[in-house]
Amino acid sequence: MTTIDASPLRGAERPGPRRQEVGAKIKEYILRNRLKPGDILPTEAELCEAVGASRSSVREAVKILSALDIVEVRHGHGTFVGRMSLAALVEGLTFRGLLSGEEDHHVLGQVVDVRQTLEQGLAAQVIAVLDSEHQAALSALADEMESLAAQGMDFLDVDRTFHVKLLEPLGNDLILQLTEAFWQVQAIVAPTLRTQQEDRLITAQRHRAIVHAVAAGNVEGLQAAIAEHYAPIRASIARVVQA
């Protein structure tokens, strides 16, 4: 028999809502079988039989797990173990930011705080583990940003790549994903405060200052450069609060 049981659960218990129970069992199944991202899971019908629940309950449970990127559903193909990204964090924080952004942008300000804290706090380690290869890559990205800014174009993708590359040598996946997540939140929420084009030019130049500080191996200089890099967005937020 292939019954999936998270816990022995004797006869008449009330383990909460059905979908929660089913979700727990699916997670148990993944753990017990040592499944990795991309591995396929049983079909809905099989899951129904295994956990003893109806399709509705199984579907709702799977949808919750897919929202957390613990599983990934591909229409007409099957259900697979997800890549466990921080997409849920992005969506949740983005919505909070949009909701708060109707008046002030205090959530956006907090996101900027966290980004700056993380990057400044990691400044010493970044300099310690930096190799010439990454340094060259960062420099090239700064060039590209300045070029795009000069043409009045936005450089969102380049900016995102820059901040990821900056922390990549640390070898900490979680920090990288958090960085990208907060970047995405800012990128989605920030446009509600229409930043001037001047700010973009300044921001581009501030990335070069970061590269210089990294190359010089100056920890305090890097921290200062990071702080100045976030100054324009902070000013934009403050501007809205006053108005």
Partner DNA sequence: CGCCATTTGTGCGTATGTATT
Partner DNA sequence: AAATACATACGCACAAATGGC
Separation between Cα atoms, residue 104 and residue 189, nearest integer Å: 12
Separation between Cα atoms, residue 161 and residue 165, nearest integer Å: 6
Q: Does 84 bind its own copies (CB under 8 A)?
A: yes
Taking every pair of C-alpha atoms in the chain, what is the biggest distance, in angstroms?
Answer: 70
54 binds, among its own copies, DNA, none (CB under 5 to 8 A by kind): DNA
User: Which of 5, 7, 17, 129 lies at the binding interface for its own copies (CB under 8 A)?
Assistant: 17
The region of 45-53, 57-65, 138-146, 231-239 touching its own copies under the rule CB under 8 A is 57-65
Q: Does 35 bind DNA (CB under 7 A)?
A: no
**Of 64 and 224, CB closest to its own copies:** 64
Q: Are 180 and 166 spatial neighbours (Cβ–Cβ below 8 Å)?
A: no
Q: Which of 218, 235, 7, 38 is CA-nearest to residue 123?
A: 218
User: Which of 23, 25, 57, 206 lies at the binding interface for DNA (CB under 7 A)?
Assistant: 57
Q: Does 174 bind its own copies (CB under 8 A)?
A: yes
120 binds, among DNA, its own copies, none (CB under 5 to 8 A by kind): its own copies
**Of 66 and 236, CB closest to DNA:** 66
Q: For the chain, state the CA radius of gyration.
A: 23
Q: Does 67 bind its own copies (CB under 8 A)?
A: yes
43 binds, among DNA, its own copies, none (CB under 5 to 8 A by kind): DNA
89 binds, among its own copies, DNA, none (CB under 5 to 8 A by kind): its own copies
Q: Does 86 bind its own copies (CB under 8 A)?
A: yes
Residue 40 pairs with which residues in a beta bridge? 80
Which token pair is 240?
């809205």
86 binds, among its own copies, DNA, none (CB under 5 to 8 A by kind): its own copies
Separation between Cα atoms, residue 214 and residue 210, nearest integer Å: 6
The DSSP result for 123-186, as a single string, is: HHHHHHH--HHHHHHHHHHHHHHHHHHHTT---HHHHHHHHHHHHGGG--HHHHHHHHHHHHHH
Q: Compute the half-sphere exposure of residue 72: CA atoms within 13 Å on the CB side of its CA.
A: 15
Kindly list the residues in this chain that would bind its own copies in the complex (CB under 8 A). Answer: 17, 19, 27, 30-31, 34, 56, 59-60, 63-64, 66-70, 75, 84, 86, 88-89, 91-93, 95-96, 98-99, 102, 107, 110-111, 113-114, 117-118, 120-122, 172-175, 178
